Amino acid sequence: MNANLSPLRSLMPALAVLIILALVPALGPSNRMLSLAISAGINIVALYGLSVLFGQTGILSMGHAALVGVGAYAAALLARDTGIGFWVALPLGGIAAAAFAAVIGIPSLRVSGHHFVIMTFAFGQLLTIVLTNGGDYTGAATGLDLQLPVTFFGSRADDLLPYYFVVLAFVTLSAIASWAIINSPYGRTLRAIRENEKLAASLGINVGRHKIGAFVVSGVFAGVSGVLLAYFLRHISPSQFASFPSIYLALMVMIGGARLLLGPIAGGILVSFLPEVLNLDPVQSRILYGVCLIAVILLLPNGLIAGLADGWQRLFGASRKQAPSPAAGGKHASEAGR
């Protein structure tokens, strides 16, 4: 991995992983594995939104699950009240979550740093309270059911296997969208804000507007992920979108590495499958997540993949290739996904 790779080549590792994932059903995985993979994929779609926000712009949101919830509730309400199905609900869910993100973002981004994180946390918590107190309209604490089928050109796509491919398609779309953002002038603007807000502002970048923009973009990803989630679970309730799920999303993106294109995929898969591989119960696995998060933050602040890439480069990179860019040491490896 090198810093002066053409942008297209930086997409290749992610595409390679996605092609491998598309071949996985050929191995005949069990239903349990498939449903784990689907929920991991749904998380990854949301994580790509979070990686644009946190990895590129440097804003940490603790209300991301609430945005997922907006998408999920939009899907369920649309299906119940208007009969609008999966494919139309997808963009509408994304738009709803983006609009909600704007509503949260405009006041929240008046404050920065920790204050902002706590604001997003509070908005997430408020949404849960509103949904719980929403009476019959939002189904109160029990939540809503969703019965409409998912069809794809006339054939049912609800079963695990077809739905796996639907979710995988959206993971691919999110990865490509995220890649496009990272390699666009817009992505550079966001990174400028991340690195030095004051400097960015002095160059004529409208920092406030771009931050809200990044928040709205992350909302689109979250909303789409919410629609996918609602049609997968078929039942949604407020507690799924409270502040703790938001913490888990932040944890996944940080374990994987927020700045890398592969980070969300790595984080989502790792966090979903590690407990299964190690045969842990949910309580033990959550303890493990927490410990992993703390260890990653203290030891590998750029996430696991970047940490591995750095280690690889330190071990083999220097001896294999003397030049062309000796400066492209560990620091660049962690940013190679750009």
Partner 1 sequence: MDILIQQILNGLSIASVITLIAVGVTLIFGLTGIINFAHGEFLMIGSIVTWLAVQAGLSFYLALVLAILAVGAMGFVLERGLFRFTLTRPTNGFIVSLGLIVVLQHIIIFFYDPNQKSIPRPLTGIWDVGGVRIASVRLMVILVTIAVVALTFAMVTRSRYGRALRAAVDDRDTAALMGIPVRRYITGVFVLGSALAGLGGALLIALFPITPFTGGTMVMKGFAVALIGGLGNLTGAVVAGLILGIVEGFSAGYGFSAWTDAYSFALMILVLLFRPNGLFGGTSGPKMA
| Interaction site with partner 1 (CB under 8 A) | 60, 62, 107, 110-111, 113-115, 117-119, 121-123, 125-126, 129-130, 133, 243-244, 247-248, 250-251, 254, 283-284, 286-287, 289-294, 297-298, 301
The amino acid that residue 201 corresponds to is A
Is 215:131 a contact under the CB 8 Å cutoff?
no
CB of 255 to partner 1, least distance (A): 10
Q: Which is nearer to partner 1, 133 or 325 (CB)?
A: 133
Q: Which is nearer to partner 1, 186 or 244 (CB)?
A: 244
CB of 85 to partner 1, least distance (A): 33
CB of 257 to partner 1, least distance (A): 13
CB of 236 to partner 1, least distance (A): 20
CB of 322 to partner 1, least distance (A): 34
Give the DSSP H or E segment for 145. strand 144-145
Instruction: Give every CB contact of residue 145 below 8 A, 6+ residues apart in sequence.
Output: 76, 234, 235
Would you say the C-alpha torsion 154, 32, 25, 19 has a positive or negative sign? Answer: positive
Q: What are phi and psi of 128, to 5 degrees?
A: -60, -40
Q: Which is nearer to partner 1, 117 or 217 (CB)?
A: 117
> Token pair for residue 169?
């398609």
Burial of 103 by CB count in 10 Å (0-12 exposed, 13-18 middle, 19+ buried)?
A: middle
Q: Which is nearer to partner 1, 227 or 255 (CB)?
A: 255
Burial of 10 by CB count in 10 Å (0-12 exposed, 13-18 middle, 19+ buried)?
A: buried
CB of 307 to partner 1, least distance (A): 15
Give the DSSP H or E segment for 144. strand 144-145
Q: Which is nearer to partner 1, 133 or 206 (CB)?
A: 133
Q: Which is nearer to partner 1, 183 or 218 (CB)?
A: 218
Instruction: Give every CB contact of residue 128 below 8 A, 6+ residues apart in sequence.
Output: 66, 69, 238, 239, 241, 242, 243
Quote the CA–CA distance of 319 and 150 in Å, as a whole number.
Answer: 53
